[in-house]
Amino acid sequence: MALLSVNLDMIAALREMRHIGEPDPSQITVLAEIAGVDGIVVQLHRDRRYIRERDLYLLKGIIKTKLTIEIPPVEEIFEKILEIKPWMVTIVADQADSTTPMAPFDFNSVPIEMNDITERLKGAGINVSFHIDPEPEQVKGASKAGSNGVLLSCARYVEARSLESAQEELDKLDRAASLAQKYSMTVSAGRGLNYKNVEPLVELGSIDEFFIGYSICSRAMMVGYDRAISEMMQLLKQTNQS
């Protein structure tokens, strides 16, 4: 069965709307783990607009599964990550605007040497992944950088407007995942996945873990967080068994 890690950035975004300290991502983490998730994911932006450093310390202290933090390649953020020591860091493109989703890292235009950064994080016992588009050259770039895994962007699959184009994007994701596994990297997938579009990805059988946040948060508003997570996990389990 493919694993499920829940992204809590939507929770932090809701907190930001009223500036009153709730909902608290650490409290939601407890509910998520009770419901059976395999991990928790958060994004740390330059401006700390949503997830804050205090959140990271709290999450690190209470999480019983694993904590993944998505970050841009910024030195002062690396220093903080080395102090917190999450289970995994996923490196994304550096963006000034924290209101937009973190974009895939592009090895074709990277201005800095990533091997030293990867080794620095791995030397501290932190697994390293790169958020990339499902393209062979990006997978190879992550492998050359010494990455433990990749987070494949499903944005183009999610945004496809026809069955034909959706299938083309599924094929790209499958090929990229298979190539990453060939290079002994774990494969995660995320960005825009929900209860309706995740099944074809699970059926590929080449993705180890799914990072899903917004759709679970939206569903939780109607049925509660534990049930929303349980429904997603059951969906992943049933699809694997079919």
> In this structure, are residues 43 and 9 in contact, taking their beta carbons and an 8 Å threshold?
yes
Query: Which pLDDT score is estimated for 98?
Result: 61
Per-residue pLDDT of the chain (242 residues; tens, 9 = 90+): 799 999 999 999 999 888 888 899 999 999 999 999 999 999 998 888 889 999 999 999 999 999 999 999 988 999 999 999 999 999 999 876 666 668 999 998 876 779 999 999 999 999 999 999 999 999 999 999 999 999 999 999 999 999 999 999 999 999 999 999 999 999 999 999 999 999 999 999 999 999 999 999 999 999 999 999 999 999 998 766 65
Distance of CA 66 to the CA centre of its chain: 12
Domains of the chain: 3-241 (3.20.20.70)
Q: How far apart are CA 163 and CA 229, in angstroms?
A: 27
Q: How far apart are CA 10 and CA 129, in angstroms?
A: 22
Which residues are within 8 A (CB) of 186 and not within 5 positions of it... i.e. 6 or more apart?
Answer: 129, 148, 149, 150, 180, 208, 209
Q: How far apart are CA 229 and CA 33, in angstroms?
A: 9
What's the whole-model pTM score?
0.93
> In this structure, are residues 185 and 142 in contact, taking their beta carbons and an 8 Å threshold?
yes
Query: Which pLDDT score is estimated for 217?
Result: 93
